[in-house]
Amino acid sequence: MTPQHGAQVQADGSTRFSLWAPNARNVTLVIAGRVMADRPEVVMTAEQDGWFTARVPEAIGCRYRFRIDHRLEVPDPASRWQPEGAAGPSCVIDPHSYSWQVSDWLGRPWHETVLYEVHPGVMGGYSGIQAQLSRLAEMGVTAIELMPLNEVPGQRNWGYDGVLPFAPQSSYGTPEQLRQLIDQAHALGLMVFVDVVYNHFGPEGNYLGEYAADFFRTDIVTPWGPAIDFRRQAVRSFFCENALMWLQDYRVDGLRLDAVHAISEQSFLVELASQVRSVLPPERHVHLVLENEHNNASLLAEGFDAQWNDDGHNTLHALLTGESESYYSDFATDTTHKLARCLQEGFVYQGEPNRHGVARGEPSGELPPTAFVLFLQNHDQVGNRALGERLIHLTEQPALKAATALLLLSPMIPLLFMGEEWGSEQPFQFFTDYHDELAQAVREGRRNEFSEFSAFADAVARNHIPDPNAAETFHASQPNWSDLELPKHREWADYYRRLLQLRHQHIIPHLVGSRSEAAHVLADKAVTASWTLGNQSRLRIDLNLSETSVTTPPFAKAAKVIFAYGEDVAGAANHLPPLSVVVRVEAEA
């Protein structure tokens, strides 16, 4: 597939510039740093269907903008590099100039995935993440998931306000440093995923509406503004090319597609998956993961590997914290039964009405457990809290440890959020770098989001919600790695390491072909669930998040306990002590 959008370096060393600008009468390519300084401006040729093109020799390293109708200069919407930030000029880079040290990397199969989500900014950029890779690989993590890399205005943003999706955020490092990070990860056996946002652009620095109004729909409005119009082929190719850029030019191993329920044309998702599968060599392990509030299970048979299981998180969060406001109200009743359904069938909502009376979800019981990414924390579930508290502040340690064992030893694909594995107590707060009227609007909008929560029902309480644009909000979200040396944090790290060792030993080798057997409620906040693994062994997890002992079903004499947590749990026969978990494997091949 030959890319259409942006500056493409050709085999002869020249660069072809392309811009889709159907509302423009003329477009001029304005170049700085040209070797041929006698032609700093090039009038682009108008092609069919709203395209403008130009071909320029010796453009690698040059900075450029597009001038629309002699009045507006804009960066390339498909810019591969913004060395001066989102407001600055774009820069032509050669995606093939980096010499990969790990040239034979083909990735890892999906069932081996243990995801670790990080925000590159608070981690100290690409170099800061690279410094943690060896520790994470030793712990048992197999994949780093980078929150969005798209260029955003300013020096800091939680990532989902991107305006230039092809350009890695300049404040994190250079494109070469990003490739070095990925190269080093591969050398350690770690996959790298990138979180991509194809459902909206941020509120500042996006000029597409000025010259390509057809990029957006006027009849559908999302929480972020007019919907992107995926009925247009140029729009579809823009995002398909973006996906392939990450997978080819940066050799990432997978993409997590943010909030695809906000994409009105679901056929685009099928097209994207089809292009990825057809363009990349079949021997490469490349993974596509969805975030989809609508629980469209049918998409998981259309080229996608898995979906984030928000239902699983919300159910466990309600059990652990007792929270029942806002979207947690959908999980506040029959919560234990909802957990059992999640463990047996994947989604809790499979067509049932939510709190708004709207049917949500599709049947998911036929999908394998590896089609679901399970987590106790992630950027949304921490960062979208008013104060950004982590789960360690919201529940008791024994309950959290029991739930963590379920997370890491169930056949679903586990995801950890940076710092979770060592019990980090620092918040992860929503942060941006806007100014003036937009900063005020974002500040007020953020605080008004929580008006339906009783703790922030009045304006005075909402004023205590951190200002997203304050530098200290960003700094408060940076993990304090020195805490790893403290005994209580080493204990947490050892706990995660032990569970991941067990996962690699007993679960991962047999995940292919695994299927759910059944899950039953033992009592309030207590369930038992079992799965048949690919080698026909049987995995059973008994979990008790209540304050009282519960009776458990009998188990086969051949069943082997591979993990137990809880007071006096070792002496338990057919009962499960409070706040405990027992994991057994029977007839392991």
Q: Which among 403, 397, 420 has a CA at the least distance from the CA of 342? A: 403
Are 290 and 413 within 8 A, CB to CB? no
Q: Which among 8, 119, 146 has a CA at the least distance from the CA of 419? A: 119
Residue type, 26: N
Are 191 and 185 within 8 A, CB to CB? yes
> Using CA atoms, how far apart are residues 166 and 163, in angstroms rounded to an integer?
9
Q: Does residue 85 come out as left (phi exceeding 0), alpha (psi in the -120 to 50 range) or beta? A: left
Catalytic-residue membership of 241? no
Are 293 and 259 within 8 A, CB to CB? yes
Q: Which among 391, 411, 406, 261 has a CA at the least distance from the CA of 339? A: 406
Helix axes 266-279 and 233-248, enclosed angle (nearest 10): 40
Q: Does residue 225 come out as left (phi exceeding 0), alpha (psi in the -120 to 50 range) or beta? A: left
Which residue in 258, 323, 420, 467 is the catalytic one?
258
> Using CA atoms, how far apart are residues 237 and 378, in angstroms rounded to an integer?
30
CA 180 to each of CA 102, 126, 184, 192: distance values in angstroms, whole numbers, following the listed order: 10, 8, 6, 12
Q: Supply the DSSP symbol for 513.
A: T
Which residue in 291, 345, 420, 542 is the catalytic one?
291
Catalytic-residue membership of 293? no
> Using CA atoms, how far apart are residues 27 and 482, in angstroms rounded to an integer?
53
Secondary structure element (H or E) that encloses residue 90, with its range: strand 90-91
Residue type, 556: A
Q: Supply the DSSP symbol for 93.
A: -
Buried b / exposed e over 288-301, threshold 16 CB at 10 Å, is bbbbbbbbbbebbe
Active-site residues, by number, are: 258, 291
